[in-house]
Amino acid sequence: MKASYQHATFAGGCFWCLVAPFEAIDGVINIVSGFTGGTVSNPSYEQVCAGQTGHFEAVHITFDPERTDYATLLHTFWLQIDPSDAGGSFYDRGQHYQSAVFYHDETQQQIAQKSILNLHENPKLKAKIATQLLAFSDFYPAEDYHQNYHHKNPSHYQRYRSGSGRDAFLQQLWSKENAE
């Protein structure tokens, strides 16, 4: 792996729904679905969903900063979530489904803080921004069957996106933006 590659980590509800939008960005090298922000090492999906770990479902992205930048990734992230939902994300409820930006360094922290301030100015958002800004610590990949789920199970993935309310909400909120 190239030494200059960087990482970005985002939690926005079901990690299945965050992979495809980032795949479309030139310069994204790898996307891993998994868990971060909690206290248990190497948690299982069942432990996280049971609320036993403090982890969030998240995606960990490796990107080439010569081909894309953190601000582009962050903008793409906002287009995939409801940043004002403090109780989870769409159909999925609970702490492990809440949204968060996990910054890897001071530069990412500053870019994310500015981005959150800009979201507060968005007239389409009716509630306070609930997305947390947290320092990155450890990331644990989810089980293999969760990786690239949208490719492995495309019909179920599309039914989930639609049935969870994600697609309808994103279309309404970001109607002039591409919400995947």
Helix (H/G/I), strand (E/B), else coil: 87: coil
Catalytic residue among 8, 14, 58, 170: 14
Which region, left, alpha or beta, applies to residue 129 given φ > 0 means left and ψ of -120 to 50 means alpha?
beta
Instruction: Give me the sign of the Cα torsion angle 64, 70, 72, 78.
Output: positive
How many beta carbons lie within 10 A of that of residue 49, not counting itself?
16
Rounded distance, CA 79 to CA 82, Å? 8
Helix (H/G/I), strand (E/B), else coil: 111: helix
- Cα–Cα distances in Å, from 110 out to 116, 117, 134, 160? 10, 11, 12, 34
Long-range contacts of 49-52 (CB under 8 A, 24+ apart): 49/94, 49/96, 51/94, 51/95, 51/96
Question: Is 14 an active-site residue?
Answer: yes
Active site residues: 14
